């Protein structure tokens, strides 16, 4: 049975999980801890709000742009950090026909300070590219999970296939000087030959785990790494895996086998930057 992998450029962090689903929207059970603050109500644009559309709404700059925005904007709340609070906050909002966001609400709460931080960042977002239905811009719902995870804790690998972002607790600043690692740069790091070449590399080098193939398993592993100023790949971390699949191990092996990349640049100079890459394992039918 043949296999293939689909790669999409992504990242977030103070360490983001995230991962970016190709599904339309995640389904969230709000539960008894639902927290619904008053958001910006969409009173100026009338019409149906869609849950499924022909073309999904998109953050300007795509998923990579969204992750870069989140990585540079969101912060782990100090009180939540001190209380060792962690978990997944899920925010739902409407992307209007002009790309503006409204009706923001928390549909799954963990802690009030985490909820407010997620709302703050979402409300400060620039306009999106609106969704389309039958070629026309329409209003649509968008659900965004953000997982807050403290360092040193075991990772939750049983996450749903949804747009997922992981915020990790910041460690105390070292007194030793350290070269900055960027989350967002003017020109992102790039596999030699671009995205098409990257996909070809993965397609030709990926080895579908035998056990996963026999069990009919499919899914997505996500790895984060640093592209150094010379294009070398360093500090590879597995941030999402499918339990008992072997996908994560194979994704890490693939990244380790990559040639040097074209480094990211800022102000015309090569810089170190984080890069998050999902690798999708899909069985041919």
Instruction: Name the average pLDDT for the chain.
Output: 75
- pLDDT above 90: residue 258: yes
For the stretch 198-206, contacts whose Cβ atoms lie closer than 8 Å and that sit 24 or more positions apart, written own/partner, are: 198/7, 199/5, 199/6, 199/7, 201/258, 202/5, 202/7, 202/254, 202/279, 203/4, 203/5, 205/254, 205/257, 206/3, 206/4, 206/5, 206/250, 206/254, 206/279, 206/281
Q: Domain count for the chain, please give it.
A: 2
> Are both 164 and 189 inside the same structural domain?
no
Element (H, E) at 205: helix 194-205
Average pLDDT over residues 255-259: 94
Measured distance CA(132)–CA(237) in Å, rounded: 36
Q: What's the DSSP call for residue 62?
A: H
pLDDT at 168: 47
> Are both 187 and 80 inside the same structural domain?
no
Cβ atoms 229, 271 nearer than 8 A: yes
Does a structural domain hold residue 4? no
Does a structural domain hold residue 8? no
User: Residue 245 belongs to what domain range?
Assistant: 183-283
Cβ atoms 84, 150 nearer than 8 A: yes
> Are both 56 and 113 inside the same structural domain?
yes
Closest to 193 (Cα-Cα) out of 258, 276, 268: 258
Tell me the two tokens of residue 273: 């930057």
Q: pLDDT digit string (tens) for 139-183?
A: 999 888 887 777 544 333 333 333 344 454 444 444 344 578 887
Angle at 9 between CA 136 and CA 211, to 5 degrees: 110
Element (H, E) at 253: helix 247-256
pLDDT at 160: 30
Look up the CATH number of the domain holding residue 243: 3.30.2420.10
* Of the candidate ranges 23-27, 49-53, 89-93, 169-173, the one whose mean pLDDT is the lowest: 23-27
Cβ atoms 64, 13 nearer than 8 A: no
> Are both 149 and 205 inside the same structural domain?
no
Closest to 53 (Cα-Cα) out of 23, 91, 13: 23
CA distances from 212 to 207, 209, 218, 221 (A): 11, 5, 7, 13
pLDDT at 38: 40
- pTM, two decimals, is 0.45
Residue ranges of E strands in the chain: 3-7, 49-50, 87-95, 101-108, 131-133, 136-149, 165-168, 181-182, 219-227, 233-240, 264-266, 269-283
Average pLDDT over residues 54-58: 87
Query: Across 2-11, 28-37, 214-223, which has the greatest mean pLDDT?
Result: 214-223
> Are both 28 and 104 inside the same structural domain?
yes
Measured distance CA(190)–CA(201) in Å, rounded: 13
> Are both 194 and 123 inside the same structural domain?
no
> Are both 18 and 159 inside the same structural domain?
yes
Closest to 190 (Cα-Cα) out of 181, 180, 199: 199
pLDDT at 100: 92
Does a structural domain hold residue 115? yes
pLDDT at 262: 95
> Are both 218 and 139 inside the same structural domain?
no
Report the DSSP pairing between strands 87-95 and 131-133: unpaired
């Amino acid at each position: 049975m043949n296999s293939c992998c689909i790669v999409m450029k992504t990242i977030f962090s103070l360490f983001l999980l995230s991962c970016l689903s190709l599904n339309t929207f995640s389904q969230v059970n709000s539960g008894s801890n639902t927290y619904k603050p008053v958001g910006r109500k969409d009173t100026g644009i009338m019409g149906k709000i869609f849950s499924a559309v022909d073309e999904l709404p998109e953050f300007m700059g795509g998923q990579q742009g969204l992750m870069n925005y989140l990585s540079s904007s969101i912060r782990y709340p100090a009180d939540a950090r001190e209380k060792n609070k962690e978990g997944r906050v899920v925010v739902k909002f409407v992307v209007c026909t002009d790309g503006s966001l409204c009706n923001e609400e928390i549909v799954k709460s963990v802690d009030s300070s985490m909820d407010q931080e997620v709302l703050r960042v979402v409300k400060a977002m620039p306009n999106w590219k609106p969704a389309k239905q039958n070629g026309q811009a329409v209003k649509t719902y968008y659900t965004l999970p953000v997982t807050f995870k403290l360092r040193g804790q075991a990772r939750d690998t049983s996450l749903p296939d949804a747009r997922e972002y992981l915020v990790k607790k910041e460690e105390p600043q070292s007194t030793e000087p350290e070269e900055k690692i960027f989350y967002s740069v003017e020109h992102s790091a790039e596999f030699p030959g671009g995205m098409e070449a990257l996909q070809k590399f993965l397609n030709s080098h990926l080895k579908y785990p035998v056990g996963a193939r026999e069990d009919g398993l499919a899914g997505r592993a996500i790895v984060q790494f640093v592209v150094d100023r010379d294009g070398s790949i360093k500090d590879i971390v597995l941030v999402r895996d499918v339990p008992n699949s072997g996908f994560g191990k194979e994704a890490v092996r693939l990244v380790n086998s990559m040639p040097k990349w074209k480094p990211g640049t800022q102000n015309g100079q090569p810089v170190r930057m984080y890069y998050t890459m999902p690798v999708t394992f899909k069985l041919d039918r």
